[in-house]
Amino acid sequence: MIHTGGSEIEQLIQLLARLPGLGPRSARRAVLHLIKRKDALMIPLASALQRAVEAVTICEQCGNVDTSSPCAICTDPRRQQNAMLIVVEDVSDLWALERAGVGPVRYHVLGGVLSPLDGVGPEDLAIQELIIRAGEFTEIVLAVNATVEGQTTAHYITDRIEGLDVKITRLAHGVPVGGELDYLDEGTLSQALKARTAL
Ligand code: ZN
């Protein structure tokens, strides 16, 4: 076994290596970087992590991750006209749309997509919660990823809320087939929303 430091350091490397986009090699570099900048980076990071651990919560209305529930988006007075509700698979998609500056909209995080092969059914996602909220809005935008599972989920939701007096739209092309929203640049994403189409 290669010795890279004490068990605390090794444990830190192993934990960081589990983050998306970081493998063991980058985790080791990150830890070394932190240790070399203990006062400027490691201590502030540790206390920021601790504060985040204590503060983070899931919004009971939309499923966003924030420090309060309902979250800052749900309680934003500019978004209270209840015009447009954008349905996304994951919090990262919500954040991508916010980065793209799509306007005073509200969101609903499904927490995944229907995937019979992986045993993910409607009851595993926040679909019932969506149906309860849907009637409050004039338009529901299904901003799911352009994957087979995403489109299956969009069709299922459409079937479930069709009886309600609400317009249902989806993102326009420009979202590549198989494309994940989080990886799109902001211009493409806001364009896809502006040119959304009726289902
Ligand atoms: Zn919220």
In which band, very low, low, confident or very high, does the pLDDT at 179 lie, cut at 50, 70 and 90?
low
Q: Which of 2 and 112 is assigned the larger pLDDT?
A: 112
Q: Answer whether 177's CB lies under 8 Å from 184's CB.
A: no
In angstroms, the Cα distances linking 62 to 32, 54, 147 are 39, 20, 23
- Ligand 1 centre to CA of 71 (Å) is 4
- Looking at the structure of the chain, the number of domains it has is 2
Q: Which of 64 and 23 is assigned the larger pLDDT?
A: 64
- Ligand 1 centre to CA of 76 (Å) is 10
Place of tokens 């992590």: 49
- Ligand 1 centre to CA of 70 (Å) is 5
- Ligand 1 centre to CA of 2 (Å) is 46
- Ligand 1 centre to CA of 58 (Å) is 8
Its pTM stands at 0.78
Tally Cβ neighbours within 10 Å of residue 128.
Answer: 11
- Average pLDDT in the chain: 89
Q: Where are the alpha helices (DSSP H) in the chain?
A: 7-16, 24-36, 43-55, 72-75, 91-99, 127-134, 148-161, 186-194
- Ligand 1 centre to CA of 118 (Å) is 27
Domain that holds residue 112: 75-170
In which band, very low, low, confident or very high, does the pLDDT at 193 lie, cut at 50, 70 and 90?
confident
Q: Looking at the structure, do residues 79 and 51 belong to the same domain, yes or no? A: no
Residue of 139, 136, 145 whose CA lies nearest to 198: 139
Q: Looking at the structure, do residues 88 and 38 belong to the same domain, yes or no? A: no
pLDDT of residue 27: 95
Q: Given a cut of 90, is residue 110 above it in pLDDT?
A: yes
- Ligand 1 centre to CA of 67 (Å) is 10
- Mean pLDDT across 152-181: 81
| 69 found inside a domain | no
